[in-house]
């Protein structure tokens, strides 16, 4: 959950099965498995008192011959399952609608004898709990600080003691401006071949549910072949382009709007192609006989890509590394069995079913960690190593 929770030591309970009067005394007696009560009506074992949730100062409890269960000598509070008297928000309403980043306080009031354990939770986790053996009205209060739109939903107060259990549910609605869902596609780029059908989609977090308006360009009429699906506050809007033609390879616009605000984005549709070249190739760990490489992947061209790494001493033959990571792997690779104090050229490219990218290259030395990244172009570059000057070169392969 994105918000921060805090709670006090008061509790609330949920309602469970309620004993009929003629069963209460029987239930109270059967909770003493080690023997019957003595002639005064007191339990014969201290541990039996504890199972009833009573403290030492409650030893004057005795069986009420009228069948009303355990009572004090003054005739107050018969034994009973928990009862949720009230569960809701401190504003007094049974449910609540708030704006994102508001603070929200839930309160649950419970009565029971003996006392109950009380917990407030949502569909994924507990946000507050309390336990007491005192038979009295109990209150559990918990707070959600800077509540997130993702924290909306049903909240449950549940209470339980030796006699029974109970629960009550209230809904919380959190209003928020549409924003892109962080776990949606890394890049909002879609690909298609000619004469194929393609669906562009966008998932947002929003409440109330927003509308999606798709256009080929910002000043054109909306596209009609759209759909919207909802899962809680996660809303996905999509548009389908049928029989893709050359003129369909453009940047589409989508406007997502609800009562709290709006989100405007451009989403390109491109032709399937070879992947873009990897970038930011560098050595993050260098030793006399090995180097560790990292890089960043480019756009995959509409198909899964893999990476090919080669290395050599300047002017020598290229050696291809046997491991070929894919875009789903960690973009890191170790090159071992190198010669100490030696310069190596290293290059990497990407490949998918539509073709192979050009290389991006680097030079590294195994003894001191001197490292030069070389741009993809014909060029001559000079760098210093100690008191010596070296000339580096690079070209597109």
| Rounded CA separation 306/321 (Å) | 13
As given in the structure block, the two tokens for residue 148 are 């997130």
| Rounded CA separation 69/254 (Å) | 67
| Rounded CA separation 26/32 (Å) | 11
Residue closest to 239 by CA, chosen among 202, 193, 191, 196: 202
| Rounded CA separation 28/114 (Å) | 11
* Stated pTM of the model: 0.60
- For residue 49, the SS3 value is helix
What domains appear along the chain, each with residue ranges and CATH number? 4-16+80-176 (2.60.40.10), 21-71 (no CATH), 181-271 (2.60.40.10), 279-394 (2.60.40.10)
| Rounded CA separation 356/108 (Å) | 63
Residue closest to 344 by CA, chosen among 269, 290, 295, 271: 290
Write out the H or E segment, with its range, that includes residue 335.
Answer: strand 332-335
**CA dihedral sign, ordered 244, 241, 186, 218:** positive
Per-residue pLDDT of the chain (397 residues; tens, 9 = 90+): 455 454 444 433 333 444 444 444 444 334 444 444 444 444 444 444 444 444 433 433 333 433 344 444 334 457 889 999 999 887 555 568 899 999 999 999 999 988 899 999 998 889 888 887 777 788 999 999 999 999 999 999 999 998 999 999 999 999 999 999 975 546 688 999 889 999 999 999 999 999 999 999 878 899 988 999 999 999 999 999 999 999 999 999 999 999 999 999 999 999 989 999 999 999 988 898 899 999 999 888 888 999 999 999 988 999 999 999 999 899 999 999 998 889 999 999 999 999 999 999 988 888 654 555 544 433 334 344 344 444 444 344 3
């Amino acid at each position: 959950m994105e918000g921060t929770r805090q709670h006090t030591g008061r509790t609330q309970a949920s309602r469970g099965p309620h004993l009929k009067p003629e069963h209460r005394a029987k239930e109270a007696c059967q909770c003493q498995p080690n023997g019957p009560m003595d002639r005064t009506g007191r339990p014969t074992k201290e541990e039996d008192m504890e199972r009833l949730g009573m403290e030492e100062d409650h030893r004057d409890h005795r069986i009420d011959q009228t069948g009303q269960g355990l009572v004090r000598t003054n005739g107050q509070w018969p034994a009973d399952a928990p009862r949720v008297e009230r569960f809701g928000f401190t504003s007094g309403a049974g449910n609540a609608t708030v704006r994102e980043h508001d603070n929200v306080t839930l309160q649950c009031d419970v009565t029971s004898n003996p006392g109950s354990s009380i917990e407030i939770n949502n569909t994924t986790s507990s946000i507050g709990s309390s336990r007491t053996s005192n038979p009295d009205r109990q209150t559990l209060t918990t707070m959600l600080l800077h509540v997130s739109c993702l924290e909306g939903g049903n909240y449950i107060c549940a209470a339980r003691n030796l006699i029974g259990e109970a629960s009550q549910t209230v809904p919380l609605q959190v209003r928020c401006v549409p924003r892109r869902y962080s776990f949606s596609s890394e890049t909002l780029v879609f690909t298609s071949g000619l004469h194929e059908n393609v669906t562009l989609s966008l998932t947002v977090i929003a409440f109330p549910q927003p509308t999606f308006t798709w256009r080929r360009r910002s000043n054109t009429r909306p596209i009609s072949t759209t759909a919207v699906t909802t899962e809680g506050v996660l809303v996905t809007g999509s548009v389908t382009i049928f029989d893709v033609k050359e003129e369909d390879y453009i940047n589409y616009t989508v406007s997502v709007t609800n009562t709290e605000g709006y989100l405007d984005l451009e989403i390109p549709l491109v032709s399937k192609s070879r992947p873009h070249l990897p970038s930011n190739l560098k050595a993050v760990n260098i030793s006399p006989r090995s180097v560790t490489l990292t890089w960043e992947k480019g756009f995959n061209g509409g198909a899964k890509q893999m990476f090919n790494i080669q290395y050599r001493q300047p002017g020598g033959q290229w050696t291809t590394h046997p491991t070929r990571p894919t875009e789903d792997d960690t973009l890191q690779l170790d090159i071992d069995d190198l010669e100490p104090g030696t310069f190596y050229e290293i290059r990497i490219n990407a490949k998918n079913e539509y073709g192979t990218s050009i290389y991006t290259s680097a030079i590294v030395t195994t003894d001191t960690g001197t490292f030069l990244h070389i741009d993809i172009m014909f060029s001559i570059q000079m760098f210093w190593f100690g008191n010596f000057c070296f000339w580096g070169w690079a070209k597109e392969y």
